Amino acid sequence: MISKLNEAILRTEAPVVVGLDPNLKFIPDAVREQAFAAYGETAEGAAEAFRIFNFAIIDAIADLVPAVKPQIAMYEQFGLPGLAVFDRTVKYAQEKGLIVIGDVKRGDIGSTSESYARGHLGATQVGDTSVRGFDEDFVTVNPYLGSDGVKPFVEVAKNEDKGIFVLVKTSNPSSGELQDLMVRDAGGRERPLYEVVGGLVDAWGAECMDGDYSNVGAVVGATYPEQGRILREIMPHAVILVPGYGAQGGKGSDLKHFFHPGGLGAIVNSSRGIIAAWKEERYASYGAAGFAEASRAAVLAMKEDLRQAWA
Amino acid sequence: MISKLNEAILRTEAPVVVGLDPNLKFIPDAVREQAFAAYGETAEGAAEAFRIFNFAIIDAIADLVPAVKPQIAMYEQFGLPGLAVFDRTVKYAQEKGLIVIGDVKRGDIGSTSESYARGHLGATQVGDTSVRGFDEDFVTVNPYLGSDGVKPFVEVAKNEDKGIFVLVKTSNPSSGELQDLMVRDAGGRERPLYEVVGGLVDAWGAECMDGDYSNVGAVVGATYPEQGRILREIMPHAVILVPGYGAQGGKGSDLKHFFHPGGLGAIVNSSRGIIAAWKEERYASYGAAGFAEASRAAVLAMKEDLRQAWA
């Protein structure tokens, strides 16, 4: 799957993933009203507003980028109706030729992680039938439980030709609270915890190569470019999924260390900066009705900005 | 909410939570056949088998224990139909007077964690309506992203009188890979990572006291009793949720350090040991049709075994 993602990055000239993390505050009044007219001010109504909003944005950006990344928490907040729209968003994006990274940050002990992996990337046997769950192409995985929490995802990814991105150094302000702690590794050397996790990602990924890169990638925040440089070296075969660009403060020129020469090795996410572009002054001319076209313009601007990092 | 849990522990004389982690392998043929007859060998059929199985076990054990802990991964593997039965299981258990700990191990950056917290413990505003999601009483939370990933859960727990259990030292064999690494803490002292996380749990919990304990608890595996002793001291106000009893190898006599004198301070989970008791030789006399009664007998045996730890 990672080779498919890399091909799509080269084809679109865009190491860009659009984060589909809708929020009722980002959704134009007219869309909300249309959804509430059909379903009322209910979880179903909120979910329907997300669906209309997402589908319009997918239509507007599908030819420009390789992938989208729906953040499942935004859907899960509305319970089952929200998750039904997460599911429909995954499938609609795939129908439009986009690769889907489910930002689910799951992780548990062995057999339980295996259930998550089957539910998001693979299939479960029910009698004589093989049943697929949400069926994203990649998911994000939390490593706190160690190898036996991550390897079930690696196994399913290998068997299904899918992929994972393991949280290594996250983009949020307090990510350093645990991730930056200086630890003594197996060899007795002191280094930050995120480097140890980076080493594990490299080892897990060796079992799961797909072309020059592994189906096991890593999450490293745009907000920590210096750590990105070191992690790029520690994980030579991992594609780095880079959140924190734009609204969280990262800029294109900060990101060159995340990429290999030649332009592969990383994919940069922007969520609010794209899907809520219509609320920004620079895209005000699109108006609320032009929210999807504003997101298209924001993608084009992001692609231009990122050329400094990878072209 | 933690005081309600402690009252229920004292009333039932059972620091016990029954893990509702169904697996088609644990479900008697007759139940599976009944479900497949109604829905076919589909995700809906598997979910219906879980529902029948869970409801029967809840009916059989509701008067014996304070709480159940459905593991959402087992349901999520079947996508939306599975999650619909997770939802029904939560609500059915609550109707029967049980406290529900959603074993969801969620965790993300700030506003995203807030969405998870609202979706599982709180409510989200949709126009003039306040919409509740899965509405468990407690959830488990992954701390890898640091304070700004955990505090949104603490806030929602405080406002809703609900609670969380933060993963500190998990029960799985490779939990030590990251959690046991020796780190240099803020004061320059070397200690294992799980102790640092334990210290954070104590600090987060101080904002959220409810009687003698905090609504912020911790997960520490039964398989690591020595670490349990140390963490009990580091987190004096945290109730410790203890997985790994029974099938994973922990025994009642190993667990006394998890409790305070007087019997509170911990709640021990057993999943397979209870819900799949009918498959064990010692409960074979119940037969497949008596699976729920076998789970009742296994709960009674577990309560007896745990008296060594806390009575």
Whether B294 and B277 have beta carbons less than 8 Å apart is answered as yes
Average pLDDT score over chain B: 95
Q: What pTM was computed for the model? A: 0.97
Kindly provide the b/e burial profile for residues A149-175, where b requires at least 16 CB atoms within 10 angstroms of the residue's own CB. bbbbbbbbbbebebbbbbbbbbbbbbb
Other Cβ atoms less than 10 A from the Cβ of B88: the count is 16
Q: Determine whether the interchain pair B174/A145 forms a contact, defined as Cβ–Cβ distance below 8 Å.
A: yes
Give the model's confidence band at B287: pLDDT under 50 very low, under 70 low, under 90 confident, else very high.
very high
Q: How many CA atoms lie within 13 A of B91 on its CB side?
A: 11
pLDDT, tens digit, for every residue of A21-71?
Answer: 999 999 999 999 999 999 999 999 999 999 999 999 999 999 999 999 999
**Chain A contact set for B42 (CB, 8 A):** 126, 129, 131
What integer pLDDT is reported at residue A308 of this predicted model?
80
Other Cβ atoms less than 10 A from the Cβ of B308: the count is 13
What integer pLDDT is reported at residue A265 of this predicted model?
96
ipTM of model: 0.97
Q: Angle, nearest 10°, between helix axes A147-160 and A110-120?
A: 30
Question: With 90 as the cut, is the pLDDT of residue A188 above it?
Answer: no
Closest residue to B73, CB basis, from A32, A115, A127: A115
**Chain A contact set for B185 (CB, 8 A):** 181
The dihedral region occupied by A303, where left means phi > 0, alpha psi between -120 and 50, and beta the remainder, is alpha
Judge residue B130's burial from the number of C-beta atoms within 10 Å of its C-beta, 0-12 exposed, 13-18 middle, 19 or more buried. exposed
Distance, in Å, from the CA atom of B142 to the CA atom of A105, rounded to the nearest integer, reads 10
Closest residue to A73, CB basis, from B116, B145, B176: B116
Residue with tokens 């490593």: A143
pLDDT, tens digit, for every residue of B160-209?
Answer: 999 999 999 999 999 999 999 999 877 888 999 999 999 999 999 999 99
Distance, in Å, from the CA atom of B27 to the CA atom of B258, rounded to the nearest integer, reads 32
The residue of chain B nearest to residue A45, with distances taken between CA atoms, is: B126
What integer pLDDT is reported at residue A250 of this predicted model?
65
Q: Which residues pair with A270 in a beta bridge?
A: A18
Distance, in Å, from the CA atom of A107 to the CA atom of A26, rounded to the nearest integer, reads 30
Distance, in Å, from the CA atom of B6 to the CA atom of B202, rounded to the nearest integer, reads 18
Q: Determine whether the interchain pair B73/A106 forms a contact, defined as Cβ–Cβ distance below 8 Å.
A: yes
Q: How many angstroms away from the CA of B6 is the closest CA of chain A?
A: 26
Close Cβ partners of B246 (under 8 Å, ≥ 6 residues apart) = B270, B272, B273, B274, B302
Q: How many angstroms away from the CA of B72 is the closest CA of chain A?
A: 9
Give the model's confidence band at A310: pLDDT under 50 very low, under 70 low, under 90 confident, else very high.
confident
Q: Determine whether the interchain pair B77/A119 forms a contact, defined as Cβ–Cβ distance below 8 Å.
A: yes
Stretch B26-50: mean pLDDT, rounded? Answer: 98
The residue of chain A nearest to residue B200, with distances taken between CA atoms, is: A177
Distance, in Å, from the CA atom of A221 to the CA atom of A243, rounded to the nearest integer, reads 5
Give me the catalytic one of B105, B158, B251, B279: B105
Q: Determine whether the interchain pair B80/A78 forms a contact, defined as Cβ–Cβ distance below 8 Å.
A: no
Nearest CA among B228, B247, B194, B236 for reference residue A109: B247
Q: Which residues pair with B213 in a beta bridge?
A: B210
Q: How many angstroms away from the CA of A176 is the closest CA of chain B?
A: 7
DSSP alpha helix (H) spans, B222-281 = 225-234, 272-275
Nearest CA among A47, A49, A96, A55 for reference residue A72: A47
What integer pLDDT is reported at residue B187 of this predicted model?
80
Going along chain B, which residue ranges are E strands? 16-20, 67-70, 99-106, 123-126, 129-132, 138-141, 163-169, 182-184, 190-192, 209-210, 213-214, 216-220, 240-242, 266-270
Stretch B219-243: mean pLDDT, rounded? Answer: 96
Q: Determine whether the interchain pair A142/B146 forms a contact, defined as Cβ–Cβ distance below 8 Å.
A: no
What integer pLDDT is reported at residue A236 of this predicted model?
98
* All structural domains of chain B: 2-310 (3.20.20.70)
pLDDT, tens digit, for every residue of A294-306?
Answer: 999 999 999 999 9
Give the model's confidence band at A253: pLDDT under 50 very low, under 70 low, under 90 confident, else very high.
confident
Question: How far is C-alpha A131 from the geometric centre of its chain's CA atoms?
Answer: 24
Question: How far is C-alpha A250 from the geometric centre of its chain's CA atoms?
Answer: 16
The SS3 of residue A89 is: helix
Give the model's confidence band at A232: pLDDT under 50 very low, under 70 low, under 90 confident, else very high.
very high
The residue of chain A nearest to residue B190, with distances taken between CA atoms, is: A183
Q: Determine whether the interchain pair B143/A178 forms a contact, defined as Cβ–Cβ distance below 8 Å.
A: yes
Q: How many angstroms away from the CA of B8 is the closest CA of chain A?
A: 28
The residue of chain A nearest to residue B74, with distances taken between CA atoms, is: A115
Q: How many CA atoms lie within 13 A of B145 on its CB side?
A: 30
Stretch A185-205: mean pLDDT, rounded? Answer: 93
Q: Determine whether the interchain pair A178/B170 forms a contact, defined as Cβ–Cβ distance below 8 Å.
A: no
